[in-house]
Amino acid sequence: MKTIISGFGCLCSLGDNVNQITKNLYEQNVEPSFITDRFDSSYTSEYPAFEVSKDILRQKKADESYSFLFLRKALDEALKAAGLDEKELKKFRVGVCIGTSVDVSFNCFDFYKSWRKDNNVSLDPLKKYLAYSPAQEILNFLSLDGIAQTIVTACASGTDALGTAAEWIKNDLCDIAIAGAADELNLIPFTGFIKLMIASKKPCRPFDKNRNGINLGEGAGVFILESENARGGIKKAGTVLGYGTACDGYHITSPHPQGRGLTKALNFALPQAAISPDKISFINAHGTASIDNDAVEAKVFNSLLKGIPVNATKGLTGHALGAAGAIEACLSLIALNTAKVPKTKNFKTIDDNLDLVPTTQNINIDPTKAAVSTSLSFGGCNSVLILGGKNYE
């Protein structure tokens, strides 16, 4: 599979656009904070999270979710980078594939609370929720017809959206795809992860011996994917080379201890990309900093991709749930295109049980090789992308 990435856009706690993110990815002057002004919870001053900039948050329209705001901004950046606009898109068969978690869940807490007290409250939030899906909303926003899909494989949603859309193009189901993911900080998952005891009160430490859980994050990543024939000879920002996904069928919150699904996903994606491990310059791990996730990833990487540099970026972005895979695919492309992998923030102490030391400093890589980006989700979905940068050969 060689689906061209003609442009991408991103926003997260690292920055409002790809340029800002590129700078901060290596400078790493980013810390989580206590989100006390977005939702009312007694936990907000205990558990830090990574928020996008206040400048972005202020741009939210009254009738849109934060997630859609993030999508809209990243989409705008991606389309500009790809040299596309609505008029140009209308010439092609367009597909939209968006991953999310919060944005299609019935997390209208304030409405629900009011409704429980009084069934006669305005039903507008409910009606909006019933009619909404971000993929369709993007088609509507761009006044396009086309195929639309919103993927909700929890934390693997972003990776699955990108892989699914890339494969639509490979299989000639569309010419151009808008693929990506978005999620926002929200009371329900914020409380839920704390109750499941996998949230940390400290900045998260992927692969560290003393890791004790995740920090939540938010943001969006959007990619413009094209077939090689859609617009011949365009300048590419990268390539989707392979995509693998397989389920553990094991547990709702814990990955299979031997990494059953992740192994299968890698074993599908690598042959699809037609590359051997020596053509991989680094692995962007899911690296949530939860005890189980990092242990399973280390086991699988050591088994299949031993010796390849591993980095984890959740110490910079937090865990943006459904958006994580798309944001990290953007970060992986940035790394490939700048020939440099960032260090794994907050990693200090080696965990002897893992036999894996992630990047401890920014390291130079061969930009003609590929990157592997992994996502492991609630419900046991394991998904993998093999990405090439603009210089991939």
Partner 1 sequence: MNELSIKSSSFSSNSQGLSEFFDIKKLRRIDELSKLSLLCAAEIFKKENIDFAKEKDDIGLIIATGRGPIKQTCNFMDSIIDVGEILSSPLSFSASVHNSIGLTITSLLNLRGPCLTISQGATSFASALITAQSWLLSKRAKSVLVGAVDEVFTVTSKAFEEQTFKKNCAAFFLLTFAPSSDRQEKLALQHDKIDNLNPSLEAFDFAYKLKALLEPQDIKKIIVDFIKTYLAANKIKVMRIFESTQSIEELLKDISEADRVHIFEGLENMFGAKTKLSSTKLSADCFRAFAENNSITFLTSGSSGKKKTCTHISSMIKEEVIGVSKLFADIKRIVSVAPTHHSYGFIFGLQMPKYLNVPVESYPPLPNFKWNEILRQGDLLIAFPLFLDYLRKLDFKFEKGISILTSTAPCPDMLIDDMIKRGAKSIVEVYGSSESGAIAFRKKSGEPFSLFPFWKAEYENGNIEKISRRKTSLEIDFPDIMQNAGAGKFYIKGRKDGAVQVAGINVYPSKVENILKQLEYVKDVSVRLREDRLKAFVVLKSGIKKEDVEKEIYKHLNATLCTPEIPKNITFGDAVPVNQYGKKTDW
Binding site for partner 1 (CB under 8 A): 41-43, 101, 104-107, 109, 112-113, 115-116, 119, 123, 126-127, 130-133, 135-136, 147-154, 160, 164, 167-168, 170-171, 173, 187-189, 191-192, 194-197, 245-253, 260-261, 264, 268, 272, 377-381
Q: Which among 34, 35, 8 is positioned nearest to 166, based on CA atoms?
A: 8
Q: How far is the CB of 234 from partner 1 (least distance, A)?
A: 23
Give 3 or 332: the residue with its C-beta nearer to partner 1: 3
Location of structure tokens 């920014």: 362
Give 189 or 219: the residue with its C-beta nearer to partner 1: 189
Give 272 or 290: the residue with its C-beta nearer to partner 1: 272
Give 65 or 245: the residue with its C-beta nearer to partner 1: 245
CA distances from 260 to 255, 271, 296, 298, 373 (A): 9, 18, 9, 13, 17
Q: How far is the CB of 323 from partner 1 (least distance, A)?
A: 15
Query: What is the rounded distance in angstroms from the CA atom of residue 213 to the CA atom of residue 202?
Result: 9
Q: How far is the CB of 42 from partner 1 (least distance, A)?
A: 6
Q: Are 356 and 298 in contact (CB under 8 A)?
A: yes
Non-local CB neighbours of 268 within 8 Å, separated by 6+ positions: 242, 243, 244, 245, 246, 384
Q: Which among 136, 133, 158 is positioned nearest to 145, based on CA atoms?
A: 136
Q: How far is the CB of 35 from partner 1 (least distance, A)?
A: 14
Joined together, the tokens standing for residue 209 give: 């011996």
Q: Which among 178, 188, 195, 194 is positioned nearest to 141, based on CA atoms?
A: 178
Give 21 or 247: the residue with its C-beta nearer to partner 1: 247
Q: How far is the CB of 286 from partner 1 (least distance, A)?
A: 15
User: Which residues make beta-bridge pairs with 363?
Assistant: 341
Joined together, the tokens standing for residue 41 give: 């919870």
Q: How far is the CB of 168 from partner 1 (least distance, A)?
A: 6
Give 87 or 116: the residue with its C-beta nearer to partner 1: 116
Give 132 or 141: the residue with its C-beta nearer to partner 1: 132
Q: How far is the CB of 146 from partner 1 (least distance, A)?
A: 11
Question: DSSP characters for 363-374?
Answer: EE--TTSEEEEE
Query: What is the rounded distance in angstroms from the CA atom of residue 325 to the CA atom of residue 165?
Result: 14
